[in-house]
């Protein structure tokens, strides 16, 4: 009896191992096919071979995540989020790191241990991830680096993700956590006059919106500066040069990013193609906001890589509510009226050459300067979207990540 039980166990283990191996092989073949046939990695990007390997790995993780979701074994993006969290770094003897809550919102507080004779700067940080990916854990190394190197108190906000926590709860949570910190800054050894709001990608969207919202509050100290790292700032025009030049760059490809965006907003996936084709927004809205967001407003040197596209035919779908929402200041702070931009705090904007969102940052820089805002800008010529979060991640870090972050640190130290 024992012999048969042992044989049967080995047989099922063999079957399971064979199925798993077959699945992994097909996953690798699919990832290689999609990368080689669908993606373009320019030679000018930082370490192009490593970019390719990273993208293939991400595609395999995405396929595994999708398979587990379809089998009912996990929620969609669970595996991807676990992978993004990565292996926790070892303790940092220079920082006191504490998980706590601001107004019921989870935050991670980083405080330098070295004594200071004066109150420190305070930094609110909002992570990226389209509102459906990322966490304080996946940005742990980046936040440690900022707090340690700038000798600042940093608060990383762990806002809840969609679809479990639908849009716009992420904006509301970041708002409430920021207001709490600003009102109680002195309790954390922070000078209320030196509070910086910052974020990357989608976190940059939240940062830009909150600074517009908070600038007129008389019950709060004035924000000292906003730091926008390759921010996403508008949903009106996806035919800008950077969206066209980098639409097939793999981190992320334009259509993949659009699919995540419509998933975040709880919209039909078919709208991803409508948006990326440039037919989402009707002509009257394009004319209204064209004075701020238009191909011809992007500096010439950033338009050289491709010709001006043929204007797409306008959409005939009834998308009135969707259009009103995506053109609002939450999702498109670049489209805010001048009154919301005047007297904004000093601003630092970092853009990357190989990033679909590059021109959002360039056009926001232009608008802020036209409204009298002091803007510092740094452009990573060999950088790509989300490269900074890979800082100090062993084999998958990139030299341009440190270059970009050291520029950010230098700016923060000067405040």
Return the active site residues: 201, 355, 385
Q: Which residues contact 225 (CB under 8 A, 6 or more apart)?
A: 196, 197, 345, 346, 347, 348, 411, 412, 415
Tokens standing for 387? 């490269």
- What is the enclosing helix (H) or strand (E) of 366? helix 358-370
Smallest Cα–Cα separation from 282: which of 314, 313, 309? 314
Tokens standing for 110? 């980083």
Burial class (CB in 10 A: 0-12, 13-18, 19+), 42: middle
- Number of H helices and E strands in the chain, helices first, is 14, 8
Phi, psi of 96 (to 5 degrees): -100, 120
For the beta sheet containing 120-126, the strands, ordered from the edge strand earlier in sequence to the opposite edge, are 95-102, 105-112, 153-157, 120-126, 190-200, 225-229, 346-354, 375-384
Phi, psi of 74 (to 5 degrees): -160, 170
Phi, psi of 347 (to 5 degrees): -130, 140
Beta-strand ranges (E) seen in 7-147 are 95-102, 105-112, 120-126
SS3 state at 96 = strand
Q: Are 189 and 203 in contact (CB under 8 A)?
A: no
**What gap in Å lies between CA 99 and CA 117, rounded to an integer?**
25
**What gap in Å lies between CA 256 and CA 55, rounded to an integer?**
12
Tokens standing for 263? 């998933």
Smallest Cα–Cα separation from 135: which of 145, 125, 147? 125
Smallest Cα–Cα separation from 196: which of 151, 232, 158, 161? 151
Tokens standing for 182? 């600003």
Q: Are 397 and 390 in contact (CB under 8 A)?
A: yes
Give the alpha-carbon dihedral of 314, 240, 402, 256, to 10 degrees.
30
Phi, psi of 190 (to 5 degrees): -110, 140
């Amino acid at each position: 009896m024992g012999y048969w039980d042992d044989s049967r166990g080995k047989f099922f283990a063999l079957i399971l191992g064979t199925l798993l191996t077959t699945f992994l092989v097909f996953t690798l073949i699919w990832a290689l096919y999609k990368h080689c046939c669908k993606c373009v990695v320019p030679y000018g990007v930082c370490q192009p071979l490593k970019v390719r390997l990273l993208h293939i790995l991400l595609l395999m993780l995405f396929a595994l995540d999708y398979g587990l979701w379809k089998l009912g074994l996990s929620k969609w993006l669970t595996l991807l989020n676990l992978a993004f969290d990565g292996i926790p770094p070892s303790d940092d003897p220079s920082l006191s790191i504490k998980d706590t809550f601001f107004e019921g919102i989870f935050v991670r507080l980083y405080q330098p241990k070295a004594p200071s004779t004066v109150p420190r700067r305070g930094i609110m940080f909002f992570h990226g991830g389209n509102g459906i990916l990322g966490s304080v854990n996946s940005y742990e190394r980046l936040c440690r680096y900022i707090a340690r190197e700038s000798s600042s108190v940093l608060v990383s906000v762990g806002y809840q993700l969609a679809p479990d926590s639908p849009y716009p709860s992420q904006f509301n949570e970041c708002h409430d956590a920021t207001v709490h910190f600003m009102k109680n800054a002195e309790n954390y050894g922070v000078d209320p006059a030196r509070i910086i709001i910052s974020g990357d990608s989608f976190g940059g969207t939240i940062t830009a919106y909150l600074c517009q919202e908070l600038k007129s509050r008389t019950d709060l100290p004035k924000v000292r500066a906003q730091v926008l790292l390759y921010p996403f700032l508008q949903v009106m025009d996806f035919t800008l040069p950077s969206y066209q030049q980098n639409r097939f760059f793999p981190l992320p490809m334009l259509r993949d990013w659009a699919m995540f965006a419509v998933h975040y907003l709880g919209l039909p996936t078919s709208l991803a193609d409508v948006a990326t084709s440039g037919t989402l927004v009707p002509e009257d809205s394009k004319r209204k906001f064209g004075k701020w967001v238009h191909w011809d407003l992007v500096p010439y040197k950033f338009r050289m890589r491709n010709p001006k596209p043929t204007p797409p035919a306008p959409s005939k779908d009834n998308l009135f509510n969707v259009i009103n929402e995506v053109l609002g200041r939450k999702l498109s702070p670049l489209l805010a009226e001048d009154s919301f931009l005047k007297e904004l705090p000093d601003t630092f904007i970092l853009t990357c050459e190989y990033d679909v969102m590059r021109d959002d940052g360039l056009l926001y820089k232009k608008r802020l300067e036209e409204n009298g805002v002091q803007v510092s800008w740094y452009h990573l010529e060999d950088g790509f979207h989300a490269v900074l979060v890979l800082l100090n991640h062993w084999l998958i870090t990139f030299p341009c990540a440190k270059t970009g972050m050291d520029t950010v640190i230098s700016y923060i130290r000067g405040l």
